[in-house]
Chain A
Amino acid sequence: MKLRGRVIRKGYAQGEALVSHQPIGFFGGVDPETGVIVESGHELEGESVSRRILVFPTGKGSTVGSYTLYRLHRKGLAPAGIINSQSEAVVAVGAIIAEIPMVDCIDISRLETGDTVSIEDNTVEVTPRGAAR
C-alpha cells in the first residue's frame, strides 16, 4: 500500500511502525537518554521510539522538545522516520535539526504497530504486519 503526504523533512527511512493514537510531547514525554516514552498514562508508555517509524497524530508540549529529538539523534536513538496526520512546530523543527525523514498529511488509521514502513520524501509504503513480502 502506498500513501502520499507532504514532506516536512526529505529523505529515505525504513523500519517497523510504532503507532500512537495520542499526540506525543517530547519534552518530559520521551527520555532523551534512552528514547523510551515516559509520559505517565500515555498509550505507548514504556515503548522505545528508537529506530522505529514513529506514527502519531501530532506533537504537543514545550518547544524544548525539538532538542530532545536532536539529543536522541546524537546518541543514535532517534526514530528512523516520523509520520503525522498534521505536524506542528515542535516535532517538525526537531525532525529537521535531527535529520529525521518526516512526512505529514497521512491517514494514520491505515498503519498499525508492527507494519514494515518505508518513507521516501512524500511517499509512505506500508507492508502490513504478517503479510508476505
Chain B
Amino acid sequence: MRLTTEEEAMLAGKEGPAAAKAMEILFALGEIYGAEQLVPVVSVQVAGVSYGNLGQAGLDFLCEWADQGARVVVPATLNPAGMDLEAWQEMGIPEDYARRQLEIIGAYQAMGVTINCSCTPYLAGNVPEFGQHVAWSESSAVSYANSVLGARTNREGGPSALAAAITGRTPAYGLHLERNRQAGLVVEVNCRLTSAADYSALGYIVGQMATDKAPYFRFNSGPQPGLDELKALGAAMAASGAVALYHVEGVTPEARSRDVLAGGAAIVAIESAEEGYRALDGTSQAVDLVWIGCPHASLAEIEHAADQLHGRHLEAELWVTTAREVLRAARTKGLTDRIEACGGRVVADACLIGAPLGEMGIGAVATNSSKAAFYLRNHSHLQVRFGTLAQCIEAALKGKWPV
C-alpha cells in the first residue's frame, strides 16, 4: 500500500502518538486486505459503546487513546449504549454499570465524537450520499449505508472506525471498490410480505444462504419495500449472515443506476418467510418485556406502535428504542405521551443487547426483529418470542404471547 507524504508523516508520529497509532491500524488493515491506498471518508459510525459489550478492557483503551490526544477530524457518531444516557435510573439500570457506561461516553466526548448513540445514524443526521466513502461499524447501519443510500463502506470494527475518524481516511478495499459491489445471488420473493417483521424473517433466511455474495432481490408479489422494511431486511441479513450489501430491483439506488448483477449469479426462490419465524420463535407463554426498535425505530414505527395500543393498559413492559433525535420528534408529535400513558416507554440511546436485562429481572422478551431475537437468545440467553408488531403489542397488553 502506498501512503501520501502527509500520511507517512502521520504514521511517523508528526501529529502525535494517537494519530500515529490510528495510522498504524489503517496501514496494517490495508496491507492485510490488499488495499493500494487510503481514501478520505465523509463520516464515521463507531461501534464499541455499550459497557456490556466493551467491558473494562475497552474502557481502559478508549481512555488511554483520548489521553494521548486522539481527536476526530470528520463527523463521527456512536453505536447504542447499554442504557438511556439521561433516563437510566427510570430504566432500572444498576448504578455501577451506569457509572462505567458514562465513563465510556466521556472518553468519546473527549475525542470530539458526537454523542448520538444509535444503530440508525442515518435517521439522526449522519446521512452519507450516493457514492461517498464512509467508515461505519454496526452491521445493520453498514448494510443500510451501502444498500439503501448507495454510500461505500466495509464492515468496520470499533478501533478501525475510530482510527478512520482520527485520520479522516480508510483503506480502499472491499466494498469501496465498484468491482466488489456486484450481486452474486438472485432472490426471487414470490410471497406477499405484509409487515417489517416479515422482511426481518425473510432476511434471516437469506442471510444464511448468501455467504459472501451480495443478494439481489426481486419482489414479485405485492408492493415494493419502503425504508422501514429495507432497514429490517438488511439488519436481519447482517445478523444471520455477513451481508454488508444487497440490491433490490427497481428500488435501491445502485440497482437503478447500473447493471449490478454479476454474470452466473445463483438464483433462489422464496415462497414463504415462515421458516424465519420458526427458527427464532421460542415457546415461552409468559412475556416480561416487549422490545420494538431493533434497529432503532423510525418516527413512523413509533407511531404504528402508539396507534396499535389504542390507549389500553399494558401488563408487560413495552420498550421502544430509538435515536435521541427521533425521540425528540416523537415527543413533539405527542407519541411518547400516548405510549407512556399505557405504561410503555420510549428509550433513547440504548440497545437491549448489552443492557443488564438479567440483573433487572427480565426472563422472556418478545420482539418483531429477527436480529433482536437472534442475539437475545444466543448472546443474552433469554427466552424469546419473535412475531409481528401486532402480536408483540398483543403480548404487551396481556403479559403473554397470543395463541
Chain A interface residues (CB < 8 Å from chain B) = 6, 8-9, 32, 63-64, 66-68, 70-71, 74, 87-90, 92-93, 96-97, 104
Write the nearest CB–CB distance from A86 to chain B, whole angstroms.
8
For the complex of A and B, 6 pairs with smallest distance between CB atoms? A63-B157, A71-B57, A67-B57, A67-B58, A70-B61, A93-B159
Residues from chain B with a CB closer than 8 A to the CB of A88 are 32
Are A92 and B157 within 8 A (Cβ)? no
Interface string of B16-58 (1 = CB under 8 A from A): 0000010011001101100000000000000110000111111
Chain A residue with the shortest CB-CB distance to B137:
A63
Are B31 and A6 neighbours in the complex by a CB distance under 8 Å?
yes
Contact present for B28 and A8 (CB under 8 Å)? yes
Cα A90 to Cα B158 with chains together (Å): 10
Q: Which residues of B contact A9 (CB under 8 A)?
A: 24, 28
13 contacts between A and B (CB under 8 A): A8-B31, A32-B55, A63-B47, A63-B158, A64-B54, A66-B157, A67-B54, A67-B58, A70-B57, A71-B56, A74-B60, A92-B32, A93-B159
Complex Cα–Cα for A42 and B15 (A): 42
Please tell me if B167 contacts chain A, counting CB pairs below 8 Å: no
Min CB distance, A12 to chain B, in Å?
Answer: 17
Which B residues are in CB contact (< 8 Å) with A90? 157
Q: Does B160 contact A (CB under 8 A)?
A: yes
Interface of B toward A, CB cutoff 8 Å: 21, 24-25, 28-29, 31-32, 47-48, 53-58, 60-61, 137, 157-160
**What residue in chain B is nearest A28 (Cβ atoms)?**
B379
Contact A93 B57 (CB under 8 A): no
Q: How many pairs, one residue from A and one from B, have CB atoms within 8 Å of each other in the complex? A: 67
- Taking a contact as CB atoms under 8 Å apart, the answer to whether B21 and A32 are in contact is no
B374 smallest CB distance to A (angstroms)? 14
With both chains docked as a complex, state the minimum distance between the C-beta of B137 and any C-beta of chain A, in angstroms: 8
Q: Which residues of chain A come closer than 8 Å to B24, judged between CB atoms?
A: 9, 96
**A70 touching B157 by the CB < 8 A rule?**
no
- A90, B21: Cα distance in complex, Å: 15
CB pair A97 B159 closer than 8 Å: yes
For the complex, give the distance between the alpha carbons of A67 and B55 in Å.
Answer: 9
CA distance A67 to B50 in the complex (A): 13
C-alpha gap A93/B157 in the complex (Å): 9
Also in contact, A89 and B57, with CB within 8 A (given A6-B31, A64-B48, A97-B21): no
B29 partner, pick from A6, A67, A89, A104, beta carbons under 8 A? A89
Question: Which residues of chain A are near B137, meaning CB under 8 Å?
Answer: 63
Contact assessment for B160 and A89 in the assembled complex, using a CB-CB cutoff below 8 Å:
yes
In the complex, what residues of A have CB within 8 A of residue B25's CB? Answer: 93, 96-97
From residue A102, how far is it (CB to closest CB) to chain B in Å?
A: 9
